[in-house]
C-alpha cells in the first residue's frame, strides 16, 4: 500500500465495526466492500472465535492490510490486542482512508465501540464511524430466540444489512423487519443478497457513531464493560496435514450437519483435496452448507486442511476422528 490517503479533514481515521451473528455474511460483505470501485483503501482487522484462523483466507486478496486476531472474542479476551493493532495502524494513518473491524459472530458490539471513547490514544486519532450489523434473513428468527448476542448486535447497530433476502419471501422479510424494529427502532435497514449492498455510502463514511443513542440504549456505556456470552457455545478447531478425499469429506460433513446441524451454529474451513492445486473454502450455517475453490496456494503457504466448528454439545474426539477419516 502506498501513497497518501485522506482520512478526513481533521486527520481522524474513521472506523467501521462490522458485526453480526455467526454465518450472517460479514466476510461476504467485507469482500464486497474491498472489491468495489470506490477509490479508497481500508485496513482490516478480522477477529475469530476459533483457535485456527479461517476468515483471513476468505478475505479477498486485495491491496488492503489484513490483521488477524484469533482464539478469543474481540469484546473481551483479545480487546487489548485490538487496542494494540489500532495503535500500530494509527501511527501510519496517512496510508489508508479508514479501518474496518470485523468482529466474531458472538461479539457484543458495545464493548468494542467503547474502545473508541475510553482509550485515550484511540480516541484522539480515530472515530467510530458506525456499527454495521449483518442479519441473516434465513436464520434470524431462530437466532434471536436462542442467542442474546444476536439481540445485542441488532440493538447497538447504526445500520443493519438484512442479508440473504433471496432466501426469504416478502412476507417473511416484513416479519423480520417488524421484529428488528422492536429491538432497534432507528437503525437504517438495507436489504442485500450475498452481501451485495447497492450503495456503500449507506454503510461507510456515515459521519459518526451515534453516541447519544448508545447512551439511551445503555446508560452506563462509557463506564461499564460488563457483558456476558451465551453459555455452552464452544469452538473446536481441527487440522490435518495430509490431503483429503473430496467425496469422503462431502459425505462425512453432510452426515454431521444433518445429524447435529441444530447445534452447529457455524462451521468453516480451508481444505486441501487430493489432486487439486487450489484451496477449497467450506462454510455452513446450521445445515446449510456451501463451498468452492478459491484459488491457488500462495508461495510458501501450508497446505494443511483446517476446519472450525462453533456451537453447542460439540464432541471433539468424534469430530476429530471423522475429519481424519477423510484423509485420502
pLDDT of residue 221: 64
Domain with CATH 3.30.1220.10 in the chain: 234-325
pLDDT band at 231 (very low <50, low <70, confident <90, very high): low
Task: Identify the residue with better confidence: 147 or 230.
Answer: 147
Distances (CA, A) of 143 to 190, 230, 291: 19, 12, 23
Give CATH superfamily name and number for 13-208: P-loop containing nucleotide triphosphate hydrolases (3.40.50.300)
pLDDT of residue 1: 39
CA 138 to centroid of chain Cα atoms: 17
Record the cell numbers describing residue 278, joined without a space: 487450489
Domain 234-325 part of CATH 3.30.1220.10: yes
Q: Over 70: is that where the pLDDT of 249 sits?
A: yes
φ/ψ (deg, to 5) at 205: 55, 50
The predicted-structure confidence for 87-110, as pLDDT tens digits, reads as follows 888 888 788 889 999 988 888 888
Record the cell numbers describing residue 214, joined without a space: 448508545
Domain with CATH 3.40.50.300 in the chain: 13-208
Cβ neighbourhood burial of 5 (10 Å; 0-12, 13-18, 19+): middle
The predicted-structure confidence for 190-220, as pLDDT tens digits, reads as follows 999 988 888 888 898 877 677 777 677 666 6
The predicted-structure confidence for 273-311, as pLDDT tens digits, reads as follows 999 989 999 988 888 888 899 888 888 888 999 998 988
Q: Helix, strand or coil for residue 100? A: strand
Answer yes or no: are the C-beta atoms of 192 and 29 closer than 8 Å. yes
Amino acid at each position: 500500500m502506498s501513497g497518501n490517503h485522506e482520512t478526513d479533514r481533521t486527520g481522524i481515521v474513521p472506523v467501521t465495526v462490522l458485526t453480526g451473528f455467526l454465518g450472517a455474511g460479514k466476510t461476504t460483505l467485507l469482500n464486497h466492500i474491498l472489491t468495489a470501485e470506490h477509490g479508497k483503501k481500508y485496513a482490516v482487522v478480522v477477529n475469530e472465535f476459533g483457535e485456527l484462523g479461517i476468515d483471513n483466507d476468505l478475505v479477498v486478496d486485495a491491496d488492503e492490510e489484513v490483521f488477524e486476531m484469533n482464539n478469543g472474542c474481540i469484546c473481551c479476551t483479545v480487546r487489548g490486542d485490538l487496542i494494540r493493532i489500532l495503535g500500530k495502524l494509527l501511527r501510519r494513518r496517512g496510508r489508508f482512508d479508514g479501518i474496518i473491524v470485523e468482529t466474531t459472530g458472538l461479539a457484543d458490539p458495545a464493548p468494542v465501540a467503547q474502545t473508541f471513547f475510553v482509550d485515550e490514544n484511540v480516541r484522539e486519532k480515530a472515530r467510530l464511524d458506525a456499527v454495521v450489523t449483518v442479519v441473516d434473513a434465513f436464520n434470524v428468527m431462530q437466532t434471536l430466540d436462542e442467542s442474546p448476542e444476536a439481540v445485542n448486535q441488532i440493538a447497538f447497530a447504526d445500520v443493519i444489512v438484512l442479508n440473504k433476502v433471496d432466501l426469504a419471501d416478502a412476507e417473511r422479510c416484513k416479519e423480520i423487519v417488524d421484529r428488528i424494529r422492536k429491538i432497534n427502532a432507528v437503525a437504517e435497514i438495507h436489504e442485500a443478497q450475498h452481501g451485495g449492498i447497492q450503495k456503500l455510502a449507506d454503510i461507510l463514511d456515515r459521519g459518526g457513531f451515534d453516541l447519544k443513542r448508545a447512551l439511551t440504549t445503555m446508560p452506563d456505556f462509557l463506564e461499564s464493560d460488563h457483558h456476558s456470552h451465551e453459555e455452552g457455545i464452544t469452538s473446536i478447531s481441527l487440522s490435518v496435514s495430509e490431503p483429503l478425499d473430496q467425496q469422503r469429506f462431502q459425505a462425512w460433513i453432510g452426515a454431521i450437519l444433518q445429524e447435529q446441524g441444530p447445534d452447529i451454529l457455524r462451521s468453516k474451513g480451508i481444505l486441501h483435496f487430493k489432486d487439486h492445486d487450489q484451496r477449497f473454502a467450506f462454510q455452513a450455517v446450521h445445515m446449510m452448507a456451501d463451498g468452492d475453490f478459491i484459488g491457488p496456494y500462495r508461495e510458501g503457504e501450508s497446505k494443511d486442511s483446517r476446519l472450525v466448528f462453533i456451537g453447542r454439545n460439540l464432541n471433539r474426539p468424534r469430530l476429530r476422528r471423522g475429519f481424519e477419516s477423510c484423509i485420502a
